[in-house]
A and B are shown apart, each in its own frame.
Chain A
C-alpha cells in the first residue's frame, strides 16, 4: 500500500438552497444543520470536509441516511458543485476544470457504481459493460473484448447477450462493476453499491470486491450505511454525521477509540472478536521476555482466531509475528478487555 494521496478534499462545504453563499456565512459563524434549516431555509449538505484518500486503498464513507454520503461522493466527479472548498485528484483541483477537462476526468480517471445499478435497459450486458469505453469514441470492435474480459472476471461468463432485465439484482450489479472496471480508471466510486442486494449476495459481492482489489489496487471510495460492511472493506473509514466528519481513521482505531457517543452507539453492537486484529492491541516486543508464551500468532489474525487457539484460557500469551519475524506480544487478558466496548463497560461500572 503506497502512501500517495490520490484524492484530497479540503474545506468542502455544500449548502442546498436559493442563496448558498449567504447561508455559508451563517454556517461559518456556527449555525448547525437544524438551525440553518429552521432559520434560513437552507439544507446543510456538507460542512468543512477534510479527507485524504490514499492510492490503492479502500476508503469507506459511512453514516446514517441523510448524513451527506452521496453528496460527498458526487463532489469527487463534480456531479454536484460545491459551495466552497477544493477537491484535488492527483494534485489537480477538479473544481478548476472546464467542461472538457471534467469530461476527461470522468472518462479516464473515475468510474462509478450505483446503488440502483443504473444500467441501460435497451442494451445487452456486453454493450452496457462497454459503455465506459464507447463514450470515449472506441469502436465496438475495440471495446467489446475488454468488456467481455471484465464480465468474465466478475463471473458473468456467457451472459453477454442477455439484457439487464433478464438478470437478478446481484448479477446486474456485477454488470455495474464490470462496466466500471472496463474503463480501466484508477479510481472507483461506489455509492451504496451493495445496499440493494440481499445479505448472502451482498457477502459474495464484498468478497468479489476484495478479491479484485488485491489484484488491481484501485483507489476505491465506497459508501455504505452498514458498519459490518464498512469494517470488512475499509482500509480507511470516514464517519459522517449531519454533513460533518465525526471520525476519520483506520477502522481498528475507530472501534477501539470511538471519539463520540454517536460512534460508540454504532460500534457497540459489532462482533469485535471478528473485526479487531492482533496488531491493534499487541504490545511492542520488549527485551527477550518470550519464554512463557504459548505460541505465535500473525499480526493480522483476528482476535477470534486467537481465542480459538487459546481454548479460552485467559492466562495465555502469544508472540505476534509479521512475515515470521516477532514484532510484539499479546496476552489474553488484554485481548478479553478489548472485546468489551467502552460504553457497555462504563454502563456496567455505573450499575455496580
Chain B
C-alpha cells in the first residue's frame, strides 16, 4: 500500500511541493495501478445493480402501486369534469365541517374565487386533488404504522431510522430511482414520491401521541378490565388525536411542497406553471402561480389548524 501510494504521487513529486499530494481516492490509485477501479466504475456498478433488480422490483411494485395511479387519474378527471359551481360549494362545505368557522369559509371562498378569477382554477384544483389523494393515503397507512410503532419498541427502533432518512433526503433524490422504476407518464410516480415524503410526520406524531397518553388514564382503563382493543379505540386514539391531527397538518403541508417539485415528473397543477416560469423565464407566470401556491398553503394550513384547535379544546383535561 505504502509503495503504491509512493508511486501514486511519484509522478508529480518532482514538480509539486510535498504537501500537494492528492488524497488516495480511487481515481488517484487507478492512475498508479490500473487494477484499481475508477470512481466511474463504482457509479456504473451501482447503476448496473439497480438496473438488474429493477425488473424484479417492478414486477412486485407495479401491481401494488397501480391503484394509486387509478385514484389519481380518477380524481384528476373528476375535477376536470365537475363544473366549478359544484366543486366550490363542496370544498366550502368540507371546510365548514372541518373547522366549524364561517369566517374561515369566507376566507377560503375569497382565495379560491381569486384564483378562479385569474384563470388558475384548473391548476389549483389539480394540485388540491393530488394533495387530497396523497394525504388521505398517508393517513391511511401512516396512522396504523404509528400505532404499531407505539406498541413495540423493537418496531420503533427499526422504523425511526427509515423515517429519519426519508425526512433528510432532499426531495429531488426521491425522484431518481422512481424515474427508472416507473415511466414518467404514470401518475403513480409522483404519487409515490409525495407519499414517501409526506407520510413521515403523521407516523411520527401518531407514535408519539399514543406514547404520551396519560399513564394514569391507561392504568384506569386497565383497572376496569378493558381489552387491548377497547383501550386502543376508546382511550389511546382519542387522547392521541391532537397529536395525530398535528401530524396530518404537517403531512398536508409537505404534500403541497412535494407536489410542486413533482411537476418535474409530470405532476399537473400549479407547479407546472412555476416550472414554465423558470424554464421560459416567464417571470409573471412564475410569480402568479407561486402566489397561488402560497394561497393554497394558507388555506390548507388554516383549515387543518382550525380542526386541530377544535379537537384540542374538547380534550383539555382538568
Interface residues of A (CB under 8 A from B): 77, 79, 102-107, 110-112, 114, 116-122, 131-132, 135-136, 163-165, 169, 172, 183, 189
Contact = CB atoms under 8 A, between A and B. Distances in A.
B224 interface: yes
A132 B217 CA distance: 13
A111 B224 contact: yes
B239 A132 contact: no
Contact of B318 (A114, A132, A136, A164): A164
A-B residue pairs, 8 tightest by C-beta: A106-B225, A121-B317, A107-B225, A118-B220, A112-B223, A103-B225, A118-B216, A122-B238
B219 interface: yes
A165 B314 CA distance: 9
A172 B216 CA distance: 14
Contacts of B317: 119, 121, 164-165
B235 interface: yes
B220 A107 contact: no
B223 A106 contact: yes
A118 B227 contact: no
Contacts, number: 66
B238 A131 contact: no
Given A103-B227, A121-B239, A112 B220 contact: yes
Contacts of B315: 121-122
The CB with the most chain A CB atoms within 10 A, among B216, B220, B314, is that of B220
B214 interface: yes
Give the interface SS of chain B, mostly helix, strand, loop or mixed. Answer: helix
Contact of B222 (A79, A164, A169): A79
B223 A79 contact: yes
Interface string B228-261: 0010001100110100000000000000000000
Given A105-B225, A121-B317, 20 more contacts: A79-B219, A79-B223, A103-B227, A104-B225, A106-B225, A107-B224, A110-B223, A111-B224, A112-B220, A112-B223, A118-B214, A118-B216, A118-B219, A120-B234, A121-B316, A122-B239, A122-B314, A132-B224, A135-B224, A164-B317
Contacts of A122: 238-239, 241, 314-315
A117 B230 CA distance: 20
B61 interface: no
Contacts of A105: 225
A135 B224 CA distance: 7
Interface string B47-59: 0000000000000
B316 A118 contact: no
Nearest to A168: B318
Contacts of B219: 79, 114, 118
B13 interface: no
A135 B225 contact: yes
A122 B238 CA distance: 7
A117 B317 CA distance: 11
Nearest to B231: A135
Interface centre among A79, A103, A110, A118 (most CB of B within 10 A): A118
B226 interface: yes
Contacts of B222: 79, 106
Contacts of A163: 314
A265 B317 CA distance: 39
B172 to A, nearest CB: 42
A115 to B, nearest CB: 8
A349 B147 CA distance: 68
A133 B238 CA distance: 19
